[in-house]
Amino acid sequence: MTKDFKQAALDYHASPTPGKVAIQVSKPCETQQELSLAYTPGVAEPVREIARDPDAAYLYTSKANLVAVITDGSAVLGLGNVGALAGKPVMEGKGVLFKRFANIDVFDIEVDAEDSQAFIDTVTRIASTFGGINLEDIKAPECFEIEKTLIEKLDIPVFHDDQHGTAIIICAGLLNALDIANKNIADAQIVCLGAGAAGVASMRLLLALGAAKQNIYMIDRNGVIHSGRDDLNPYKQEFALDTDKRSLNDAMQGADVFIGVSGPDLVSEEMIASMAANPVVFALSNPDPEISPERAHKVRDDLIMATGRSDYPNQINNVLGFPFIFRGALDVHARRISEAMLLAAVHALKDLARQAVPQSVLDAYGREQLQFGPDYIIPKPFDPRLIDVIPPAIARAAVDSGAARKPYPPHYPKPGAD
């Protein structure tokens, strides 16, 4: 990062007012009559309705379009455990993305919690304010138990974006890449470098999409996760294989797919060269991938590659998912994000990448042409069709899986329509 960019980033956050988000009043309050409606005595009427029927809060308050973005600051970007307050700029940034891409309002909440239970208790006590909760930047393995417990306790969607958001985008891109490479997910040998939130969630979702558990080699700091190890938490244990492979180098030999959610420069050119024909390489460590596209393409001219960066083709970017997933969930007053909703998001993204790209997207990225193929396996974040495609898919899946309080919205495309 250059000194000029650092200063530009600080200036952006400081001026003309500190921070990136604000609250605005959504109803007129200019006259005595409007004031009496906004507050006392008129406010008593919706209070009575909500006291009688809690679901009336969706009709009379901002709950229906309000998401909490909540962190404990224990795993902020690549900066680690910087603490709750230092994570606030990132949480505000998520608020910007929610509003910009899906017109969803956000309160960012930074929780100083001494342990997972304290965090869970805090979120539980404030949850009734919101229509959904986006957990963010919470370290593994605590994030798994936190999310699981909150899902069980609450009747609104709880979504840890570092788990499921990343998993959805990875899986959508991977299905397309495997199709281009003429490979089947059920047969593909998959190496996942990184056994934290993103790695575990992505492999779980791939299993739901048809991957074979015996073909998934998950790697952590101590090498291949295998059945002979006695240092595995329950989440890693799910992926322990009975195998003689011990190192990343061993696992990469003959692999069809590499997914990196770990750190920079951990994959060598020799490892890429040892993979099967037409390999798929998702090197997603950001800003510096596990192996750069330049080095990977140097040894293989038959690979399909994605990174987490916007300056290379095939960026795996969570903004393709979470704003639109919550949009669909909020529009049917969902109680949870079901697996069916996650899978619906995967297939909606996968299918959108196969359609003709609008001129507005080409203009935004300075391209004359983009079409489905090795350098375009996932839609671009500024594709205006995302808001038209993903929320309806989520809403349909929510209704069909019993996760919704409301029927499929009448302003959405009819189920089954092209």
The CA-based dihedral angle spanning residues 83, 264, 321, 363, taken in that order and rounded to the nearest 10 degrees: 120
Contacts (Cβ under 8 Å, ≥6 apart) of 7: none
140-160 exposure pattern, b = at least 16 Cβ within 10 A, e = fewer: bbbbbebbebbbeebebbbbb
Q: Which of 6, 39, 153, 298 is catalytic?
A: 39
The CA-based dihedral angle spanning residues 240, 242, 245, 248, taken in that order and rounded to the nearest 10 degrees: -10
Neighbours of 37 (CB within 10 A): 16
272-301 exposure pattern, b = at least 16 Cβ within 10 A, e = fewer: bebbbebbbbbbbbbeebbbbbebbeebbe
The answer to whether 39 is a known catalytic residue is yes
CA gyration radius for the chain?
Answer: 22
For residue 373, report the phi and psi dihedrals to the nearest 5 degrees.
Answer: 170, -170
Rounded (10°) angle between helices 386-400 and 322-331 = 50
Q: What is the DSSP letter of 158?
A: E
Ramachandran class of 115: left when φ > 0, alpha when ψ lies in -120 to 50, beta otherwise: beta
Give the separation between CA 273 and CA 301, rounded to whole angstroms.
10
The answer to whether 217 is a known catalytic residue is no
Assigned token pair, 185: 């997910």
Give the separation between CA 222 and CA 328, rounded to whole angstroms.
40
Report which of 345, 316, 353, 318 is spatially closest to residue 329, judged by C-alpha positions: 345
Long-range CB contacts for residues 6-13, cutoff 8 Å, separation at least 24: 13/89
Neighbours of 11 (CB within 10 A): 9
Q: Which of 58, 63, 88, 94 is catalytic?
A: 94
- Residues that are catalytic: 39, 94
